[in-house]
Amino acid sequence: MLNKLVPRQQIATVYELVLTELWERGIRGIITDLDNTLVSAKTPLATPELIKWLDELTRLGFKVVVLSNNGEARVSKFAAPLGIPFVYAARKPRNAAFHRALAILNLEPEQVVVLGDQLLTDVLGGNRLGLYTVLVQPIALAEEGFFTRVNRQIEKLVRRIHKNA
């Protein structure tokens, strides 16, 4: 079970993702979390830097979908102006939301990367379906909600156990 909580890769920000390497591996799609992965939880819209990065993804041929546990208002306000499809109220790490995102991308699991900042939602959900998981350092820990803070404590325990295993 602990192996399902181990990401294939860890990066500080999405901008560190080496897109050409992913393309060479056959990756064609990106399922990405929203809060604390792309922007902070208090940032309603994409930053200019993020817009440039998302444009680069499209230029290179990647398909993108936002997969978030947030409600429709939050996710649509962010994704709709960018023309990015999204799944809201995802209830990650449940499989159903990841299956919906895969259907939107119209890709097989081995062709897709999951980007997210949480082991218990993004990494676990992606690993359960055989997706290539990338853990991104959270953008702003101080802005996280109660349940995310609880998850962070569990993540610390998991990391300690995994380190000592």
When pLDDT is cut at 50, 70 and 90, the band that residue 4 belongs to is confident
**Structure-token pair, residue 135:** 């853990």
- Number of structural domains the chain divides into: 1
CA 23 remoteness from chain centre: 18
pTM: 0.87
Q: From residue 7, how far is each of 50, 80, 125 by CA, in Å?
A: 23, 29, 11
User: Average pLDDT of the chain?
Assistant: 90
**pLDDT per position as a tens digit, 38-79:** 999 899 999 999 999 999 999 999 999 999 999 999 999 999
Contact 63, 29 (CB under 8 A): yes
- What is the Cβ-side half-sphere exposure of residue 149, based on CA atoms within 13 angstroms? 6
**pLDDT per position as a tens digit, 90-114:** 999 999 999 999 999 999 999 999 9
CA distance 154 to 134: 18
Mean pLDDT value of segment 116-145:
89
Backbone angles phi, psi at 94, to 5 degrees: -60, 145
**Structure-token pair, residue 127:** 């690993």
Q: What is the CATH number of the domain that holds 130?
A: 3.40.50.1000
Q: Please report the pLDDT score of residue 96 as a whole number.
A: 97
- What is the Cβ-side half-sphere exposure of residue 159, based on CA atoms within 13 angstroms? 10
Q: Please report the pLDDT score of residue 80 as a whole number.
A: 97
Domain that includes residue 115, residue range: 2-164
Q: Please report the pLDDT score of residue 5 as a whole number.
A: 84
Mean pLDDT value of segment 128-157:
76
CA distance 159 to 140: 20
